[in-house]
């Protein structure tokens, strides 16, 4: 890898002050950003379609699951 800088000094200082919840959010957002740069993103409609194919998950339960996923990903 060498000396490739992944996180700048200011971001490093912010990370050091984060609690576990803040760090988890940061890592998820940072990972999504990296995946987005590679052309991969979270496709919620596709995820919902795949979840709907699971036996035993009806419309109401699927709505509840999607609310939790969107809350976790900070999507409103």
Residues of the chain with pLDDT under 70: 1-5, 35-42, 75-76
Q: pLDDT at position 60, please? A: 92
pTM: 0.45
pLDDT at position 43 is 74
Query: Phi and psi of 6, rounded to 5°?
Result: -95, -45
44-53: b (≥16 Cβ within 10 Å) or e: eeeeeeeeee
CA pair distance 53, 55, nearest whole angstrom: 6
pLDDT score of 8 = 82
- Please state the domain extents for the chain: 7-41, 42-76
d(C-alpha 2, C-alpha 16), whole Å: 23
Q: Are 73 and 41 in contact (CB under 8 A)?
A: no
């Amino acid at each position: 890898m060498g000396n490739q800088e992944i996180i700048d000094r200011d971001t490093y200082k912010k990370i050091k002050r984060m609690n576990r919840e803040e760090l988890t959010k940061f890592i998820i957002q940072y990972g999504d950003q990296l995946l987005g740069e590679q052309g991969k993103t979270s496709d919620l409609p596709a995820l919902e379609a795949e979840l709907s194919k699971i036996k035993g998950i009806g419309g109401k339960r699927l709505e509840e699951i999607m609310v939790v996923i969107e809350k976790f990903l900070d999507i409103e």
